[in-house]
Chain A
Amino acid sequence: MVTAELLTELKAVLPEVKITTEENQVTLFPHTEEQIAEIVKYCQEQKKTICIIGGGTKSKVGTSNERVDINLSLSEYTGIVEHTVGDMTVTVKAGTRYEELQEYLAQHKQKVALDPSWPRDATIGGVIAANDSGPKRLGYGTARDSVIGLRTVYPNGKVIRSGGRVVKNVAGYDMNKLFIGSMGTLGVLSEITLKLRPLQKCESLILLSFSNGNLDEVRRFAVELLDSMMEPVALELLNPAMAEKLVEQNAYTLAISLEDVETSVTYQEEFIQKLRPKNAELTILRKDQAASFWQRLYTAAPSGCDPDTSNENNAGTVALMKIGVVNLSVLEIARECQLLSDQYSVKAEAHGGLGTGICQVILHGASEDVAQSISRLRVFAAELGGYGIVQYLPESLNGKVDVWGERPSYFRLLEGIKAKMDPSRIMNPKRFIGGI
């Protein structure tokens, strides 16, 4: 159907819903869950495919060349549904911007304990659907540890609840887990209930740079810190290129985050100072300085809605990978990223958690070189028992690079779940692993 016809029909069927068209693409902006459900129901009946959009920061995550019929934007479906301060739980509409949610909760000295990329632009729905996380997952876990309940508009237009509003719940299958990280391929998350944590009373960031480039020394220090009784909430290794970008220090650097009551933070700072290897340089940042470091880190990666990164230019192209390995193998990934620049003349800015095994690698270079680096890193991660997926791919490589990598041996089950829940495959088609 041509856009004009579709538009006329949509206006007739969904008179209350705001609709825009741009470059031949129809976008709907529902304000209520009922409207979301009506849209999905319509699409199901008419076999129209839907692309769900939150803040658009991840619009380049897992994209395919598939053209969808309808964009479903949740950007106007926002707000807190319920915040029970004493229970430390919040229910929020999926389109709410992550930072707005945190600012609201901060007034009550509470927070969602996640630190995703692009917090200003990202929506809570997008963060959960993409299972985005940051370095502080070492201390606080990830979306699967924070989400306690969901309302999901299923591909048939019905609203299905999973979990609930209590922090402990084993009634039936833990269906929340299916939707977290599902990239919107199973339904539209409409309301999300999260458990909260108290806002830390004091926060400190220790930067430890190893200018001699000796990763063995980094390893020794990290192992000793992890084996101590200190409780860093992040222990993130930045490779020299990433450290250059964030703190203008071209050296392997550890970013250690401490969050607790002040006496405890000070005590841990002192402990780490004593543990510091002789040739490592140590800086302590607090408050605004610490916050500004994290802000730079969270916005270091290319974002789908940032015009600066989405335009390819003479300087070449940029891609983003997420790599998962066994915790300390992050050191190997960091080393490999340095080697890449020699072999493929790409710049690889990488950071990864030595207590979590999750790395983010930003690759800059000519598109051929970037493509080669992606496959090289993926093979390398697999040899270490891990995986690598592409989270941002430039237009020039679209369709030329496998975004998700190999299917797991149990792919039949993933495919089975998709087929059961979205048999007509209208939800974010081909956006997920193995073309799901």
Chain B
Amino acid sequence: MAAVKAIKSKDKHIQQLAAIVGGGRSILYQKEDLLAYDCDGFTIHKHLPKAVVFPKDTQEVAALVKYCHEHDLPFLARGAGTGLSGGAIPLNEEVIISMVRMKRLLSVDMENRRAVVEPGFVNLKLTNSISDKGYYYAPDPSSQYCCTIGGNVAENAGGAHCLKYGVTTNHILGLEVVMPNGDIIEIGKDGVADEPGYDLLGLITGSEGTLGIVTKIVVRILKNPEAKQTVLAYFDKVSDGSQAVSDIISSGIVPAALEMMDKTAIEGVEAAAFPVGHPKDIDAVLLIEVDGISAGIDEQIDEILKVCRNRNVREVKVAQDEAERGRWWANRKTGFGAMGAISPDYLVQDGVIPRSKLPVVLDRINQISNESGLRIANIFHAGDGNLHPLVLFDARVPGEIEKALEAGSACLKVCADVGGTITGEHGVGIEKREEMRFVFTEEEIAAQTDVREVFNPKNLLNAGKLFPSPGRCVEVKKEMKASVTS
């Protein structure tokens, strides 16, 4: 066994925390080591943590939390750090409890369709571990090759196939959670459904790491569909594309996925690592997938082709084999990063609208782009109305970050105004705290912070996230700007 690495800090807390996790190899506390943890996938905002600790099991997490609780040290959990709203950013010089060492697949029970994982287990690894038996884990965020299931639970992550199969919360059967005072609780033990009592499983999922630290997760696994067919459809007009989306949904088909990209997005994905030859001069491409019993698939594909033709599609094609399907999906799933090929920086937004409002909202976003002088690409889950406007900007140009933030916020306002919401899967985090007021009244926000108080009364766990500070609207905006420009 390696010798215990000495702690070079005089800070008593650092020494104690190190002792809990078995010494200096499982803790970072020097500035140069902490820099990598000053933000997550939301890179506009940066803060250094006090330390980063790497517990190996639930007991260590509980001991760390208990220590922080007793000594009033702010703390938060971190998975892979791919969150896009700043949930894992240590705003208050938190002790970061990293879950990456707790990454085991604990058990798989095909007969009862469930698996038990530790929170640091990477999403895609689960599907990869069970695919030989014909099973998979449904929630598929585009970041699935690296994000953790613990992070997915915290954010209630979605993905392209959530249209038919639901988001993370629809697939979580049980959780082990370390409460903010260090108590360990188990909800939905063994994955038994409908446990009597209020649905804490549903409440904790999507609470962005503010109600407890998840240390074990029982998930539902599904059998692969017997057949899958994937269609690409190119439209000369965005409005025709959006109309086709509505028509497909109202024809009684529930596609597994129904994705859309606009012209700017197409320019990005075609310039990046996984081009598939989308024509450059079209306004919208739809990627549509149906799955299920083989005998019923052709009928659905015919219907979809018919709908697209009725909406003046320029070209529509069905993937000929798994390889082609894979290429189309790689092109789509790497879409955010692809913006790097056409812009130095980009900001991802995440509004949701009633599907029928798609044409109007895309128009309004276009207007916002014109007014701000920034290009906005749209890559989104059209089937469930979850938009991802990507605001392209250059952080080196003075004032552009602020402009990008404003344009992003304006897009969310549009979504809220048509009866939608400000986030469909990326969470509120730091980024959209103020925008919570677009959709909730003060009283409705208080109803939520009341719940937080029951779980997290000292508010040491991931404080300052998710909710606007009451009455401090202006100050917070200033604070945001200050930390942006620093």
Contacts and interface: CB of A to CB of B under 8 A. Distances in A.
Interface stretch (A16-24, A50-58, A261-269): A261-269
A44 interface: no
B253 interface: yes
Interface stretch (A171-179, A204-212, A333-341, A366-374): A171-179
A385 B190 contact: yes
A176 B156 CA distance: 14
Contacts of A260: 292-293, 296
A174 B156 contact: yes
Contacts of B432: 171
A84 B427 contact: no
Contacts of A166: 352-354, 384-385, 419-421, 424
B352 A131 contact: no
A381 to B, nearest CB: 9
B169 interface: yes
Contacts of A227: 110-111, 134, 223
Interface string A403-435: 011001111011011001100000000001100
B250 A263 contact: no
A284 interface: no
Interface in B362-400: 381, 384-386
A171 B444 contact: no
A220 B448 CA distance: 47
Contacts of A357: 112, 192-193
A115 to B, nearest CB: 15
Residue of B198, B224, B466 most packed against chain A (CB within 10 A): B198
B360 interface: no
A145 interface: yes
Contacts of B166: 141, 145
- Give the interface size bracket for B toward A: 35 or more
A328 B196 contact: no
Interface stretch (A33-41, A194-202, A285-293): A194-202
Nearest to B187: A410
B451 A417 contact: yes
Given A229-B226, A325-B192, A386-B192, A261 B455 contact: no
A168 B385 contact: yes
A167 interface: yes
A199 B252 contact: yes
Nearest to A200: B252
Contact of B296 (A169, A264, A411, A432): A264
Name the residue in A144, A167, A186, A260 with the highest tally of chain B Cβ atoms < 10 Å from its Cβ: A167
Nearest to A201: B252
A174 B448 CA distance: 9
A91 B224 CA distance: 33
Contact of B422 (A145, A171, A416): A171
Contacts of A89: 354
B202 A144 contact: yes
Interface in B332-374: 352-356
A165 B354 contact: yes
B252 A229 contact: no
B421 A171 contact: yes
B205 interface: yes
A169 B250 contact: no
A94 B432 CA distance: 32
A227 B223 CA distance: 7
Contact of B299 (A144, A177, A263, A356): A263
Contacts of A85: 250
Interface stretch (A99-107, A153-161, A244-252): A153-161
Given A168-B385, A198-B253, A420-B451, A145 B293 contact: no
Interface string B167-208: 101100000000000000111011111111111111101110
A417 B445 contact: no
A86 B383 CA distance: 11
8 contacts: A84-B354, A86-B246, A144-B170, A158-B443, A166-B420, A168-B425, A171-B440, A230-B293
Interface of A: 84-89, 109, 131, 133, 141-142, 144-145, 154, 158, 160-162, 164-178, 180-182, 186, 197-199, 201, 223, 226-231, 260-261, 263-264, 266-268, 322, 324-328, 355-358, 385-387, 389, 404-405, 408-411, 413-414, 416-417, 420-421, 432-433
Given A170-B427, A433-B196, 4 more contacts: A160-B444, A162-B444, A165-B420, A174-B207
**Closest A-B pairs by Cβ, 6 of them:** A177-B202, A264-B296, A198-B252, A229-B226, A267-B295, A416-B454
